Structure formats: structure tokens, C-alpha cells
Chains A and B, each alone.
Chain A
Amino acid sequence: MDQQTDIRFLLNGQEIIARDAPATRTLLDFLRIEQRLTGTKEGCAEGDCGACTVLVGRLQDGALRYETVNACIRFLASLNGCHVVTVEHLTGPEGRLHPVQQAMVDHHGSQCGFCTPGFVMSLYALWMQTPQPTVTEVETAIQGNLCRCTGYEPIVKAALAVNSYGSPVHDHLTRERDTITARLAALQPAGRVVTGPDDDRAILPADVDDLAQVLAETPQATIVAGATDVGLWVTKLMRPISPVVFVGHLEELKRIDLTDTALTLGAGVTYSEAESAIATAFPHLNDYWARIAGWQVRNMGTIGGNIANGSPIGDTPPVLIALGATLTLRNAAGQRTLPLEAFFIDYGKQDRAKGEFVESLSIPRPQPGQINAAYKISKRRDEDISSVAAGISVTRTGDIITDARVAFGGMSATPRRARAAEAALIGQPWTKAAFDAAANALSQDFTPLSDWRASADYRLLVAGNLLRRFFLEQDGQTSVRLDVA
């Protein structure tokens, strides 16, 4: 089969064929420098401000789905077969403002205006998905957009009003859906795509078998899923990562399988894609999930990547470890499955051989008597990295604690179980004293570090208090936690 050697996608109304596109060329630089589409702004180049927000439409199981992404950390090569929509595409041919734009103007949603195109794109995506949002839905949609001028009030008001300016039914992305779907279908590659210069090579495997094959051929390759970590290695650290194997387009890695006993997620499932299955199987993760990054990053970032990067401060490992999740790795020779907690060996060191990739993750559904909670502590409520993240799963049989799995992030070099705290709980009666003892035991489990997110003292104190909160919440005390909604 012929190998495709360029990246093909739709940009607004136009088909782009990027020949020899370097693997690390970002969509933002492509838009601003090569296409001179300067409506999309750079505010941080690290996915944290949203000034670069654009929409990416892609086919999933044949259906076209648009979502917001951060163009600053999105690699061009990952857009093969996608439709990129920038702010320039919103205004009608006669120059008429789009409903989102008109609402923003009428509600004085811009001051300096630099954040504005990004907000317009986030609100556009929200309106397409939820034409009449609640305030909380608006806030969640713009978690990934910073505005330093307005104080957000007029932007939220504009968002709530958009639908009175027009319905998504009449939007041109809705009207052109069939045409775009067909055009994108025609752009899907027949096999492997390899492009870019030798020192900045991009490889898009044809399928998961081919991925195993590629990794067998080039075990030193950098795997890129959503690029919400790797993107920053490039934009902030200028680290060379060639050759790059992109996996975000592989539908086999996007499988979501919910049975009576477990939820299995392919490594390529994004936070957004997993959201509804997570809500069904693990309702305690609902709020927690919405506090991981911002919307754009949740649309790109994968759970597989969150685990594979081995970070001590990733939000999914502690809660997944507490739930007893297992990880399946694969290479050309085959698969192996291990408990998630065993994957994290030490800081920067995971149980992953060269040529192996994360294939999927399986999370057992709660047993009767199992009580679960997930807590995230951060300086700012939304779109912030945790200073402490906790997953707590305790099984109560009558008045006795018969099992406990307690895992923390932000407390040591890896996300890790608190064995001493668990031991302090297991076999004990369900009392405040047991949880106090567990909280006190945390100092045997962890010697956290001080950094700009939190001091060691605070980390230890708050981690213990989260165990106390867990007890109080189960004890029927209702108002022990702030909920913004």
C-alpha cells in the first residue's frame, strides 16, 4: 500500500495539503505564520489560557464531531483528515456577525479583546452542544479560557444569551455537515502516513497492529496521543522528540466498554469521551472529572497519556488505583496486564518496555458496601494542577471497615497507595477515631515536598483532613464540602 507523505485536512472552507510537515509544527504557528490567520492568538503556548482556541471536527464512527482544542499545543500532523475551524470562519459571507459574536458585542464581553476570539470559539462549541446552558455549564466550557480584563461577568451573560440570537440548527457547520463529512471521509488515509524531515518525523500508523509494528521498528519513538503533555515539551522546553508516533486517530484505542463488572477504556479515550461512561459507572468521579484541566485539554488529553507520563501529580492515577484498575500494555509480541499501581516504579520510571504502548485500562465497578470518593486540592478551583489528589475506596461491612484502598497524588515521587493509612482502617469499626488514626498514619506513608503549589506541611495536613472529610460525608454530615454549582 502506498504510504501517504503529507498531512491533509480542511481549514475553514479550504483543503490543505501540508507537504513534509514537521512533526512538531503546531497548528497555531501554522495558522498565524503560514496562513496569516491572525484571529487566533497566542497567550501562553502551554494550553492554559485559551487565546488559541479553535474547533477541530473529526469523524468518529463515521459521525462528524466538533470540539475545542488549544491550537498552541496541537501538532499539525495530528489533524490529518480533520476539519479545523477558526474564528475567521464564523462571520457570514455578508459580514453578518455570528450569534455568538453578536451576543459578545451586545454584552460587552471584550475589553482588550485579546482573549476574545478564544472565548468566541469556546462559546461556539458550547452553543452547538448545549444551546441553552446553565451558568455552571458556561463556567465549565470556559474553564480553559483566561480573561484578565472583564472579570468574566459579561462573557457569562453573553453565553447565556447566545441562543436568543440564533439556533445552531441554522449554523453553517450544521448545514454543511454532510458535505464536510464526505470531504473528510475522502481525506482518510488508506494506510500509514509518514511525513516531515528526518529530524522531525511524524508517523501515523494505519491501525493498532501497525502501531505495534512502528514501535518495533522505532522503539525510541515518542508516542503522542493528545499532546497535552508532549506539546509543552516542544513549545516550552524545545525538546527534540523525533520520530513521533501519533495515536490520537486510532479508533481501536478509543473503545469504551461498560459492562456490569468493569469499565474498559482504550488508551486513546479522551477525558471528554470518557465523561458519560465515568459518570454512569463511577458517579463519585463526576465533579472530579470536570476539574481536570479545562475543556479544550479534556477534549484532547487522554487517560492513557495521563498514566503513561508517570507524573506524580496526574489526577487520574490516584482515583484509579483506589478503584483497583488494571493496565494493559502491548507490543508486537503481545499483551500483558498489571495492576495500575505497579506501573509506577519511581519518579520518571514506569514499568513500560521500549516498544510497548498502553493499550487499555480496566476499572472494576464498585462492589456492594464499597464507598468511593475522589478529592482534588488545588490553589485555584478549576484548571489547576493538584497539590494533593486523593482516591479513597473503603468497604464497610456492617460497622466494620473490611477493606480500604487509599491512594494519593502530590504526596511522593509517584502516585501511590497509603499503606499505613489503609492498615489503620482495615478491621477497625467505622468511627471517627479510625479515620483520625488513618490521617495520622499518613506521615509514615509520605514525606511530601514543598514547592510553588503547596508546602509539605500543608500537603500532609490536608491529605489527612481529606480522610476526615470522607468520614464526615459518609456520616451523613451534608455541608462539609464547597460545591460551586
Chain B
Amino acid sequence: MKDLSPLTGAVHHDRIHDSAIKHVTGRADYTDDIAEPAGTLHAYLGVATVTHGTIRTMNLDRVRQASGVVDVLTARDVPGVNDLSPTGRNDEPIFPDTVEYHGQPIFAVIAHSRDAARRAAELADVSYDILPHATDALSAQAAGLPQVTDPLKLERGDVAAGQATAPHRIKARMTVGGQDHMYLEGHIAFAIPGEDDDVIVHCSTQHPSEAQHMVAHALGVPLNAVTVNVRRMGGGFGGKESQMNLFAAVAAIAAKRLHRPVKIRPDRDQDMTATGKRHDFVIDYDVAFDDDGRIHAVDGHFAARCGYSSDLSGPVTDRALFHADNAYFYPHVRLTSRPQKTNTVSNTAFRGFGGPQGVIAAERMIEEVAYALGKDPLEVRRTNFYGTEGRDLTPYHQQVTDNIIGRVVDELADSARYQARRAEILQHNAQGGILRRGIALTPVKFGISFTATHYNQAGALVHVYNDGSIHLNHGGTEMGQGLNTKIAQVLADAFQVDFDRIKITKTTTEKVPNTSATAASSGSDLNGMAALDAADQIKARLVSFAAETWGVAADEVRFLPNAVQIGAEVVPFDTLIRRAYMARVHLSAAGFYKTPDIHWDRAAGKGRPFFYYAYGAACSEVTIDTLTGEYRVDRTDILHDVGRSLNPVLDRGQVEGAFLQGMGWLTTEELWWDDQGRLRTHAPSTYKIPLASDRPRIFNVALAEWSENRERTIKRSKAVGEPPFMLGISVFEALSMAVASVADYRVCPRLDAPATPERVLIAVERLKAG
């Protein structure tokens, strides 16, 4: 027997990202790195300089006459439908007649160079009939602006009755800020016209099928004329789930019109002003509880700044409600959303998709209860965790059957020495002093599946070439999460071949049609299963070929590392493939998967929207300076559940990165609009994401190795992209504790997010003033 050394890149083992070497050498090609064909032109968007107003006149003569300009596109030049709404609401024009936010694109310039296009875009002469504007959810509601989609209500039990029996009740409001994705690679699309109606668009997108859809819609051509490709993104985080539509459509329209390749890449300021962000929320909560800290009833109202159009705000605000319980059982509960229209850019998907805003509300309520009763918040958390029968129903009537939060939290509290450190911190703070410390251990339970049930499907295409090399393609997109690596591992495992035999190829609508966004953490759950289905089909053909040819039973054919055992004989994989090919065995297969057992009735607010839950917990310790509000994260310990990890080292990377991103959301990342409705934090110079020196001084991250998904997911793993984002909440609550120390923990500090040094200091001052 030869060739039976263990596989490289086997599933459940660490494996470097498939592009790691290309990343470090600068040889990984992103959309802007693709060699441009001769004659490539460059587009740039011209934007509105008012926040709300009807365009009265738009004179683009100076733009057209500017050096290097080839063409100008306005709403009139859209051959198909002038709309980009991902939910078919027709509320998101490519170029509008009425401007609805400051910096909204109103035309595009096409020029020989990007620089020329960018300069020319400044030269428009536009006049407006100014309309009143409202940029935040509350003032927009007061001004009578509508909601962008139907609100959702989740209700279970009898809230009034629950409130009546509870001895304590707290009503309060919290404001939770939004977040810019700040992917390092900004938006970009590059369209190359073909014959007939055809166009190929290279685009940095998490959702090629959506971009294909929108391009076809805007061009007025069938979907089969449009191909969208993406090999990799320089980060997505939800910001490229629908927001690429604008760029893909403009590039494609220009390319078809001029019969030349057209590329569009906004600068960072435009990327940040003209594309959506995480929704910020104003959350009103009313929590009723007893002396033990047990919650009896929760009434929560979630108003979100959605921006001028619906985009994905419906499902985002829905998901905020789906996660307003986090890991806690509410005996009586009513949760309502208000997807509020505002005169700001339309907000969109961002890692967690509204879930984090729901979870932080749950955690704030727990803190309120704890402060009111003078208890350790962790004790209150434990008291309210979902339990067994009778305490296992979510506000949307799904039963929580896979609950492991108790064990996760217990193990973490132990390994992080939560109790001892808390005692020590209390003692430190009791001495007074300028520097105060805080510690918090917060859990997360996160539901996995798209709540739009039809999105939970995926396809893959696998070819085995007759030299034994394998080509892998699937509908998911690579944005750094290592999806391709994991799926290649699944395939390597299925065929029992070395990882390097598998060629990972770009995502393209040509190979796998009708795909869903790589979002909702579902990338490997869905596409991994689809790829496995394809591999299983090919393997079945190989098995029956081998059984027939070697005259053995099918169960005597076994895939060994890089070889196949057929009866007593061991045949190298290559040899078997070659012989199968000569015998005209079909060595290609399209795989498919749809998540079983999920359903959701939005009108009734009932169903099983989630296939399963992922769990985790984080314990963070901070120090604040009560003179300045500055702070430091001294230590964070994390225990996170990814089921049986497909690739532990990549999963840890997701956990660490998500944690820091979640912490950034709640600390230094602040979006700031001026009173004229202009976003003034629109580049890394003004919008501050965490740096290396912001990460916890001690950072211990572990995966719950004992966990295994109860559902039949790919290799019993769990999704990891989004859930750990909410672990950042531990930092926020630790800051809150440090603040609370100045008033001896008698009151739960009024701390809004992000807790910038300024907000921390103001909260300290407020407590000092009593």
C-alpha cells in the first residue's frame, strides 16, 4: 500500500486560509487588481449637496466639457428600471428626482481616468427646492415621516398580567449607535460588455445573484445576459450584501452604452456617505421582575434609523426583535419595531443584522435588574437563562432545544475566575481613586438561518478532471472568513484527497445560479452541504463503477487517503479517476441543499425561523479614568460554541475579529451627523475603528470543544461569522460597572452606545451629581 499518509487539510483540523500566501505576497487579486483591457473607462458619481430637496435644474455642461470626460449618465439614461431596491419596493432609485439624503448620487461621469471622472463630478450646477429634513429616528417620527416597511410585533403571554404580579418595574431608554463597515477594500465594480445584451461584472459583493438581478433590472435585460463574478472581497461584513448594487448597475449601464469596459470605485468618503451602515436604535424597555431578579414581563420598543429607503431594514429590525431575549426567558413579552424612515443614507446589513441591537437591550435590562436589587449581574443572568419545559419558549414561539448557555457560562466564569476578580475589583473601587475598574460576563445566544426562509438554499458545482484534480465552485463568497478553505476541506474529506488537489475558483453566477447572499453566518452551513451533495453524487458513480469493474460489492469500495480500496486492492485516486473517465463515467455534479424544518409566519409572529442556535460568552475587565473618560480593556476571556469546528484556527480568527469589531461598535466607532444632515465621520480620519493597541491587554479565546451541533449541519459544525460579534457587549457592561462605582453601584448608569470617552465621563459626572 502506498500514499496513505494522512491527508493535508482534513476537516476539523487547522488549515491556513487558502489565500494566505497570496495575501502576504500581494498576489491576491481583488477587483481593482484585475488587469484592465485596453480602452477601459472610469466612472464616478456626482452627489447631491442638500439633505432633502427636489432637483429643480441640473446643468451638467461643465461636467461634460471637463478634460477626459466621455459621457454623463442621469436617471434618463437608465435603459431599464431606475431602481435598486433589493426587496422590490421600488423605493431606491439609482438616480433620484428628489434627493433624500446629503451626498446621494444624482448622476455619473465616465472619463478616461478615474481622476478625471472624479474631478469632473464636482462641476455640476444643480439647483434644488429644499424640503425639511429629519435625520434621526425620533425627530423623523415627530415630523411625521413614515416607516419604510411594516413593523413587527412579537408577543407571548400577557404582559399586563406579568407586570401586575411583579414587585419591581423599570422603564428606561437606551440609544445604540450605528456602525460603518469600514471594510478595508471599498466598493468597486468593473463591467465588461459582451455581445447581444451580455455584460460581465466583476464586483466586490457578498451577493452576486443580487447584483446580477439589479444589473439586469437596470438594463432591462433577462438575468441570463448578466454574469457577476467575485474571487474575493477585502472585507464585507454585510456592507456588500445589497450596497454594491449601485456600483454594479452604473458600471454595467455605462459599459453597455459605450461598448467599453467601465470601472467604478468611489473614494472612501463617498463609500461611507453613499452606502448604508448598521442601524442605530432608540430602545424603550419596560422590565418587570421580582426580588430574586427573575424577569416576569418585558415590553420593548425598537425604533431604528432606516434611512430613506427600505433596503434590508425590514429583516434587520425583525432580527433585533428576534434577539431581544438573547439567552433569557421572558414569561410575558411584547416586542415591537419601528423601521423609521429618515433623511439619511439607507441603512443595511451589518454582521448580526439587527441582532446585536436586540441583544444589548436584553443585557441592559439584566443590568437594570441587578443594580435595582444590588445583585451581581451574572447572578441575574443565570436566574433568567432559558431552561427546561415551561421556560424554553422564545417570544416568537420557537422552542429552545439545544440550550448550552449554562455550561458555557459556568466554564467561562471558572476559567476567567470571575467571582474572585469581581471581588477584587469591588475592593479596588471601594478605595476611591481616579481609576475605576469594572468586569462583566455576558452571554450570547444567536439564531442561525435566514429569516426569509427561501434564502436558505445553496448550490455547488464540482468537477473532477481526468488527471484527478478537482475544481470547486459554490454560491458562497469569500470575504476573509475562510469559507473557501472550509468547503475545500469538506471536499477533501469527502474524496479523501489532499487539500492541494482542490482548486478554489471565483464565485460566478454562471456556474451556480440563484444563490443567496453570503450572510447570516450561513456560508459554510449552506454551501458546505451543497458541495458535499455534489461530491456524494460523483462518489456514488465512482463506487458503482469500481464495484462493477472490479467485481466487488459496493460496500467493499472505500475512500482512503488519496486512494480507493476496492476489495483487496488499493488503487491510487488518480488511477481510478483516469479509468472512470475512460469508461465514460460522468465526473461532474451540481450539488444542492436547503435547510430542513424551518418556517416562519411573520403576520402571526410564530414559527421556527432558526435551525439552531450558536452560543458563547465573554468576560471583560476594564479600567476607566474618571477625570477624562478614557479607558482600557485589561482582559477578555471568551468561550465560544462553533459546534464541531470545521477548522478551529479559522473559527478562532472569526471569534477574535468579531469580538473586536463588536467592541468597536460600542466604544470608539461613532457616526455623527451635523444639523444640516451631513455625516461628518466618513473616513478613517474621523471614524475610529479599533487599533491593535485597543485590543484587550490579555486576551484568552477558546472554543467549546465539547460542543456538537444537534442538527445535521455540515460535519456538525455551527455558524461563526456573526454570533461572537455580540461578545463585545461584555466590554460595554464592564465600562458601565466602572462608571457605576462612583455612586457605589446604587444606580444603573445611563450609558448610551458607543461609550466614547466623552460618554463615559458624562455618565460619571451625572452619577457624581447624584
Listed in ascending order, the chain A residues whose CB lies under 8 Å from chain B are: 29, 32, 36-49, 51, 86-88, 90-91, 97, 100-101, 104-106, 108-117, 120, 138-140, 142-143, 145-156, 235-236, 238, 377, 379-385, 387, 451-455, 457-458, 461-462, 465-466, 468-469, 472, 477, 479-482, 484
Residues in A neighbouring B625, C-beta threshold 8 A? 480-482
How far is it, in angstroms, between the C-alpha of A462 and the C-alpha of B630 when the chains are bound?
10
Distance in Å: Cβ of B498 to nearest Cβ of chain A:
18
Residues in B neighbouring A46, C-beta threshold 8 A? 268, 683-685
Distance in Å: Cβ of A439 to nearest Cβ of chain B:
10
Contact A466 B434 (CB under 8 A): no
Q: List the A residue with the shortest CB-CB distance to B627.
A: A465
Q: List the A residue with the shortest CB-CB distance to B624.
A: A482
A selection of 16 A-B contacts at a CB cut-off of 8 Å is A39-B26, A43-B184, A43-B268, A46-B268, A113-B232, A116-B23, A117-B24, A145-B692, A148-B661, A154-B653, A235-B267, A238-B122, A381-B632, A382-B694, A383-B691, A453-B686
Contact A114 B268 (CB under 8 A): no
Contact A114 B30 (CB under 8 A): yes
Contact B653 A111 (CB under 8 A): yes
Distance in Å: Cβ of B239 to nearest Cβ of chain A:
10
Query: In chain B, residues 426-481, which have Cβ atoms closer than 8 Å to a Cβ of chain A?
Result: 433-435, 479-481
Contact A479 B434 (CB under 8 A): yes
Distance in Å: Cβ of A267 to nearest Cβ of chain B:
24
Is residue B579 contacting chain A, with contact meaning CB distance below 8 A? Answer: no
Is residue B711 contacting chain A, with contact meaning CB distance below 8 A? Answer: no
Distance in Å: Cβ of A412 to nearest Cβ of chain B:
19
Contact A150 B657 (CB under 8 A): yes
Contact A146 B269 (CB under 8 A): no
Is residue B16 contacting chain A, with contact meaning CB distance below 8 A? Answer: yes
Q: List the B residue with the shortest CB-CB distance to A37.
A: B26
Specify which of B25, B35, B268, B693 is in contact with A45 (CB 8 Å cutoff). B268
Contact A117 B656 (CB under 8 A): no
Contact A377 B628 (CB under 8 A): yes
Closest 9 CB pairs of A and B: A39-B26, A114-B234, A112-B480, A113-B23, A111-B480, A151-B660, A452-B672, A48-B684, A151-B656
Is residue B650 contacting chain A, with contact meaning CB distance below 8 A? Answer: yes
Residues in B neighbouring A120, C-beta threshold 8 A? 24, 26
Residue of B25, B653, B689 with highest tally of chain A CB at under 10 A: B25
Is residue B284 contacting chain A, with contact meaning CB distance below 8 A? Answer: no
Is residue B758 contacting chain A, with contact meaning CB distance below 8 A? Answer: yes
Knowing that A236-B267, A468-B627 are A-B contacts, what are 17 other residue pairs whose CB atoms are under 8 Å apart, sorted by A's residue number? A106-B16, A108-B16, A108-B17, A113-B19, A113-B23, A113-B28, A113-B480, A115-B234, A120-B24, A147-B692, A153-B656, A458-B629, A458-B758, A469-B627, A482-B435, A482-B630, A484-B632
Given A236-B269, A380-B688, A461-B765, A38 and B661 contact (CB-CB distance below 8 Å): no
Contact A379 B757 (CB under 8 A): yes
How far is it, in angstroms, between the C-alpha of A387 and the C-alpha of B757 when the chains are bound?
11
Residues in A neighbouring B623, C-beta threshold 8 A? 482
Specify which of A38, A87, A146, A454 is in contact with B32 (CB 8 Å cutoff). A38
Q: List the B residue with the shortest CB-CB distance to A121.
A: B26
Contact B33 A49 (CB under 8 A): no
How far is it, in angstroms, between the C-alpha of A104 and the C-alpha of B28 when the chains are bound?
15
Given A384-B688, A479-B434, A112 and B184 contact (CB-CB distance below 8 Å): yes
Contact A113 B234 (CB under 8 A): yes
How far is it, in angstroms, between the C-alpha of A112 and the C-alpha of B231 when the chains are bound?
11
How far is it, in angstroms, between the C-alpha of A114 and the C-alpha of B235 when the chains are bound?
8
How far is it, in angstroms, between the C-alpha of A147 and the C-alpha of B691 when the chains are bound?
8
Contact B16 A105 (CB under 8 A): yes
Q: List the B residue with the shortest CB-CB distance to A457.
A: B762
Given A38-B33, A452-B680, A480 and B435 contact (CB-CB distance below 8 Å): yes
How far is it, in angstroms, between the C-alpha of A88 and the C-alpha of B28 when the chains are bound?
12
How far is it, in angstroms, between the C-alpha of A134 and the C-alpha of B435 when the chains are bound?
25
Distance in Å: Cβ of A480 to nearest Cβ of chain B:
4
Contact B692 A142 (CB under 8 A): yes
Residues in A neighbouring B200, C-beta threshold 8 A? none
Specify which of A114, A379, A454 is in contact with B688 (CB 8 Å cutoff). A379
Contact B17 A152 (CB under 8 A): no
Q: List the A residue with the shortest CB-CB distance to B115.
A: A29
Residues in A neighbouring B17, C-beta threshold 8 A? 108, 110-111, 113
Is residue B649 contacting chain A, with contact meaning CB distance below 8 A? Answer: yes
Contact B693 A143 (CB under 8 A): yes
Q: List the B residue with the shortest CB-CB distance to A141.
A: B692
Residues in B neighbouring A155, C-beta threshold 8 A? 692
How far is it, in angstroms, between the C-alpha of A114 and the C-alpha of B183 when the chains are bound?
9
Q: List the A residue with the shortest CB-CB distance to B119.
A: A238
Residue of B181, B627, B630, B689 with highest tally of chain A CB at under 10 A: B627
Q: List the B residue with the shortest CB-CB distance to A232.
A: B685
Distance in Å: Cβ of B173 to nearest Cβ of chain A:
20
Q: List the B residue with the shortest CB-CB distance to A388.
A: B628
Q: List the A residue with the shortest CB-CB distance to B35.
A: A36
Is residue B690 contacting chain A, with contact meaning CB distance below 8 A? Answer: yes
Is residue B107 contacting chain A, with contact meaning CB distance below 8 A? Answer: no
Residues in A neighbouring B479, C-beta threshold 8 A? 112
How far is it, in angstroms, between the C-alpha of A115 and the C-alpha of B758 when the chains are bound?
30
Contact B24 A139 (CB under 8 A): no
Residues in A neighbouring B30, C-beta threshold 8 A? 41, 114
Contact B434 A44 (CB under 8 A): no
Q: Mark B645-667, 1 if CB is under 8 A from A, else 0.
A: 00001100100111111000000
Q: List the B residue with the shortest CB-CB distance to A51.
A: B184
Q: List the A residue with the shortest CB-CB distance to B672.
A: A452
Distance in Å: Cβ of A121 to nearest Cβ of chain B:
10
Residue of A88, A106, A111 with highest tally of chain B CB at under 10 A: A111
Residues in A neighbouring B269, C-beta threshold 8 A? 236
Is residue B237 contacting chain A, with contact meaning CB distance below 8 A? Answer: yes
Residues in B neighbouring A461, C-beta threshold 8 A? 761, 765
Specify which of B692, B756, B765 is in contact with A143 (CB 8 Å cutoff). B692
Distance in Å: Cβ of A52 to nearest Cβ of chain B:
11
Query: In chain B, residues 61-101, which have Cβ atoms closer than 8 Å to a Cβ of chain A?
Result: none
Given A39-B25, A461-B761, A114 and B20 contact (CB-CB distance below 8 Å): no
Contact A139 B689 (CB under 8 A): no
Residues in A neighbouring B649, C-beta threshold 8 A? 108
How far is it, in angstroms, between the C-alpha of A36 and the C-alpha of B36 when the chains are bound?
10
Distance in Å: Cβ of A387 to nearest Cβ of chain B:
8
Q: Mark B592-629, 1 if CB is under 8 A from A, else 0.
A: 00000000000000000000000000000001010111
Contact B684 A148 (CB under 8 A): no
Contact B657 A111 (CB under 8 A): yes
Residues in A neighbouring B762, C-beta threshold 8 A? 457-458
Distance in Å: Cβ of B278 to nearest Cβ of chain A:
13
Contact A153 B699 (CB under 8 A): yes
Specify which of B118, B183, B757, B761 is in contact with A148 (CB 8 Å cutoff). B183
Q: List the A residue with the shortest CB-CB distance to B28.
A: A113
Is residue B29 contacting chain A, with contact meaning CB distance below 8 A? Answer: yes
Residues in A neighbouring B690, C-beta threshold 8 A? 151-152, 380
Is residue B203 contacting chain A, with contact meaning CB distance below 8 A? Answer: no
Distance in Å: Cβ of B629 to nearest Cβ of chain A:
7
Q: List the A residue with the shortest CB-CB distance to B701.
A: A153
Residues in A neighbouring B482, C-beta threshold 8 A? 111
Specify which of A104, A143, A455 is in contact with B758 (CB 8 Å cutoff). A455
Residues in A neighbouring B480, C-beta threshold 8 A? 110-114, 149
How far is it, in angstroms, between the C-alpha of A39 and the C-alpha of B691 when the chains are bound?
22
Specify which of B16, B29, B115, B657 is in contact with A38 (CB 8 Å cutoff). B29
Distance in Å: Cβ of A283 to nearest Cβ of chain B:
21
Specify which of B182, B267, B481 is in contact with A111 (CB 8 Å cutoff). B481
How far is it, in angstroms, between the C-alpha of A146 and the C-alpha of B693 when the chains are bound?
11
Q: List the B residue with the shortest CB-CB distance to A462.
A: B628
